[in-house]
């Protein structure tokens, strides 16, 4: 099993423990890989190792494979025929406003599709949707407000750190998103299980 841009490899650790599989992950951030959990085969790199793998995880990481929708083709190549991809990807629940895109840090509407477009793009890449689970508004509330709280706490505890201003800005944008009209129901996030066609 491969985890693309695994970050701290927390998802990979949980899946590996539960299913007792050989788990490989990579991320371009050396600090994250160095602080990853023991017992996993973790690498610092910015492109995937050669496949194919039985299962590939790509959670909030399609940018590491060229972004949506190109990442879907790359994922289809990484998994063997009949193998499965677990994709965690954003989608538009409604067309985003200019203000919302600005508060996402200058995103553009064509970076994502709507839910149906996400599924169609997977099928066009040779990946058949098997199951999907989407974040609820309660999930989003927990994610965004905890992100704001943690970013501001981190920055307050390290006033001289160059990263403090970056995190304060991230918290400011997230608060703007969460409090603007339609800010809580514009962006969705789906975990989609996909099977590569044989």
Ligand X SMILES: C[S@@+](CC[C@H](N)C(=O)[O-])C[C@H]1O[C@@H](n2cnc3c(N)ncnc32)[C@H](O)[C@@H]1O
Strand stretches in the chain, DSSP E = 2-3, 24-27, 41-44, 53-59, 79-92, 127-134, 187-196
Position 64 contacts ligand X (CB under 6 A): yes
- Establish if 11 lies at the interface with ligand X (CB under 6 A): yes
Greatest Cα pair distance, the chain, in angstroms, is 55
* Comparison of 63 and 94: residue with beta carbon closer to ligand X: 63
Could you give phi then psi for residue 142, rounded to 5 degrees? Answer: -60, -45
Contact 138, 198 (CB under 8 A): no
Out of 15, 29, 99, 147, the only residue in the binding site for ligand X (CB under 6 A) is 29
In 107-157, alpha helices (H): 115-124, 137-157
The SS3 assignment for 14 reads helix
Interaction mask 40-59, ligand X, x per CB under 6 A? ------x------------x
Q: Which of 41, 52, 54, 60 binds ligand X (CB under 6 A)?
A: 60
Residues 177-196 that bind ligand X (CB under 6 A): none
Structure tokens at 91: 């989608």
Terminal-residue alpha carbon distance, the chain? 18
In whole angstroms, the minimum distance from the beta carbon of 88 to ligand X comes to 6
Size of the site for ligand X (CB under 6 A): 15
Q: C-beta of 198: minimal distance to ligand X in Å?
A: 27
Please select the residue that binds ligand X; options are 5, 151, 167, 174, rule is CB under 6 A.
5
Residue numbers of the site for ligand X (CB under 6 A)?
A: 5-7, 11, 26-29, 32, 46, 59-61, 63-64
């Amino acid at each position: 099993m491969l985890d693309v841009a695994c970050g701290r490899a927390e998802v990979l650790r949980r899946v590996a423990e539960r299913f007792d599989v050989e788990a490989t992950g990579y991320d371009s951030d050396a600090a994250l890989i160095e602080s990853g959990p023991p017992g996993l085969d973790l690498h610092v790199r910015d492109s995937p190792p050669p496949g194919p793998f039985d299962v590939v995880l790509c959670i909030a990481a399609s940018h590491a494979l060229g972004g949506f929708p190109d990442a879907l083709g790359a994922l289809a190549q990484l998994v063997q025929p009949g193998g499965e991809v677990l994709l965690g990807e954003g989608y538009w629940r409604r067309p985003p406003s200019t203000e919302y895109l600005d508060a996402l840090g200058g995103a553009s509407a064509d970076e994502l599709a709507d839910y149906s477009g996400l599924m169609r793009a997977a099928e066009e890449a040779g990946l058949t949707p098997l199951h999907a689970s989407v974040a609820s508004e309660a999930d989003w509330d927990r994610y965004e407000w905890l992100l704001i709280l943690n970013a501001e706490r981190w920055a307050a505890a390290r006033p001289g750190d160059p990263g403090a201003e970056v995190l304060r800005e991230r918290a400011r944008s997230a608060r703007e998103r969460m409090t603007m009209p339609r800010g809580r129901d514009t962006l969705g996030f789906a975990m989609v299980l996909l099977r590569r066609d044989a």
